[in-house]
């Protein structure tokens, strides 16, 4: 019964959350699935000010870029797609 209540509440909560998409420019190599190995952290989209500070944005992109550099596909993966 409790799981029914929580599942009923979840859609209402999801509908109340506004959804926006922000595109961060890719500045590195782009893999076959569209993922880049580096994203531009030199500009802070003003639309994001309502959601995060520039310091948080910079930290998030640094973390993302570092993970991409660490986990970017190897040469055999790249060459064979």
* Domain extents in the chain: 24-80
What is the structure's pLDDT at 2?
47
What is the structure's pLDDT at 36?
85
List, in sequence order, every residue forming a beta bridge with 36; answer none if it has no partner: 30
Where in the chain does DSSP place strands (E)? none
Residue 11, pLDDT above cutoff 70? no
Condensed to tens digits (0 to 9), the pLDDT of residues 26-79 reads 888 887 778 888 998 888 888 888 889 999 999 999 999 998 888 776 766 666
Nearest to 72 by CA among 14, 29, 15: 29
Instruction: Report d(CA 29, CA 47) in Å as an integer.
Output: 26
């Amino acid at each position: 019964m409790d799981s029914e209540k929580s599942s009923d509440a979840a859609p209402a909560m999801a509908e109340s959350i506004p959804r926006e998409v922000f595109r961060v420019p890719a500045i590195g190599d782009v893999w076959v699935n569209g993922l880049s190995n580096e994203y531009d952290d030199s500009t802070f989209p003003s639309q994001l000010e309502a959601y995060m500070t520039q310091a948080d944005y910079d930290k998030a992109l640094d973390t993302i870029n570092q993970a991409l550099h660490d986990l970017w596909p190897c040469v055999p993966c790249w060459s064979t797609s």
